[in-house]
Amino acid sequence: MPWPIIGHEWAASFLRQSLAAGKESHAYLFCGPPQVGKTTLARLLAQALNCAQPGAPCGACSSCTRIARGSHPDVQVIQGRGAGGRLLIDQVRALQHDASLAPYEGRRRVFVLRQIDLALDEPSNALLKTLEEPPARVVLILTAGRRATLLPTIVSRCQVLELRAVPPELIEQALCERGTSPEQARLIARLSTGRPGWALQAVQDNTLLDQRKQDVGQLFALLAASPVERIDAAGKLGRDVSAARRLLGVWLACARDLVLLHDGGPRHVVNVDDVERLEPLAATLSLAQAWALVAAIQETAQQLAENVNARLAVEGLFLRLPYRRAAQHDS
């Protein structure tokens, strides 16, 4: 029975077969971009581990519905409480205490630790002890952006599944099946850059699309800003790591669009509603400059993932952005 997830059928199939063969792992690591479906897949695995119905997860029994609501006593989804969502040492210690207890009613106690790649050394090393000597009837599911940012000893003790961006056609189809108009579904699917979670959220919350417009507008404003103005903007953004990560994700899609506009026009552009602003900008940049912009944004995003000083990382990027005169249609 297919699991209700947009894309990632290979991962769901692998997990189904492993459970059917009784070869579940004591620890999993789901890697991939933000909102690509890592936590959704983790919840489905938690349901499958505790559902008593054939073809688990059934999605309808008491266990499945409570896991979906986040109210099952044997399943915890843990988000770091530290700066930028970092896991704290006291959260790991609480997990270790809870993991030592027998399940209240399910077959397995399941702990989903989100964004484990943001954790510093102390909580990471404490978690490693649990991974090395996992309690019976406990399954740990870690999520991270990239495995390369984790301790190799943590990665080696997990079954690793790398979730990649979902093709926009699959996201568009899923949105249409949920009642979104074809035009809106196509736009949101393209803007999602392969992230079903973002697409589903954007359908329910129009402010996400408004925020994306503001983020694109900020890129154009910075391209026309002076070095002093750029440094000032970097100082403000550097105080909000989450906002910086979101902004860089939007800008990376714009930079890739600039490359695409140099080679074949707007057919594959992500920001289909911003082509009128992107085309004039692409005309002022060489292909090498467009690729350099992609590389600079990727490098800064990687620095933020590695917990480099956010203000300095963002400031470095802002000062490397190309300069251009403001145009009236950029406003």
Is there a single domain that holds both residue 139 and residue 15?
Answer: yes
Same domain, 157 and 297: no
pLDDT value at residue 306: 77
**Number of domains the chain is built from:** 2
Residues 210 and 70 in one domain: no
- Mean per-residue pLDDT over the chain, rounded: 90
214 within a domain of the structure (yes/no): yes
Q: Flag whether the pTM goes above 0.95.
A: no
Q: For 261-270, how does the pLDDT look when each residue is reduced to its tens digit (9 = 90+)?
A: 987 666 778 8
In a domain, residue 177? The reply is no
Reply yes or no on whether the pLDDT at 328 is more than 50. no
Q: For residue 70, is it within any domain?
A: yes
Q: What is the pLDDT of residue 177?
A: 95
* CATH number, position 114: 3.40.50.300
pLDDT > 80? residue 16: yes
User: Phi then psi for 117, rounded to 5 degrees?
Assistant: -70, -15
Question: Could you give the 3-state DSSP secondary structure of residue 272?
Answer: helix
Tokens of 27: 């620890």
Domain, as residue range, for 292: 206-330
pLDDT at 329 over 60: no
Residue 182 lies in a domain: no
What pLDDT does 269 receive?
A: 86
69-83, 271-285, 286-300: the lowest-pLDDT one:
271-285
In this structure, the number of other CB atoms found within 10 A of the CB of residue 55 comes to: 11
pLDDT of residue 327: 44
Question: Can you give the pLDDT at residue 265?
Answer: 66
The answer to whether the Cα torsion of 178, 272, 164, 108 is positive or negative is: negative
Is it true that the peptide bond before 54 is cis, omega within 30 degrees of 0?
no
Which DSSP string corresponds to 94-142? HHHHHHTSPPSSSS-EEEEEETGGG--HHHHHHHHHHHHSPPTTEEEEE
* CA–CA separation, 279 and 266 (whole Å): 8
Domain identity same for 242 and 307: yes
Q: Tell me: pLDDT of 78 over 50.
A: yes
In a domain, 173, yes or no: no
86 pLDDT exceeds 90? no
Q: Are residues 157 and 24 in the same domain?
A: yes
Cα-based distances in Å from 44 to 7, 75, 110, 219, 288: 13, 11, 11, 38, 44
Give the mean pLDDT of 304-316: 87
User: Is 91 part of a structural domain of the chain?
Assistant: yes
In total, the chain counts a number of residues equal to: 331
Tell me: do 140 and 264 sit in the same domain: no
Q: What is the CATH number of the domain that holds 294?
A: 1.20.272
**Percent of all residues in the chain with a pLDDT value above 90, rounded to a whole number:** 69
Q: With a cut of 60, say whether residue 53 has pLDDT above it.
A: yes
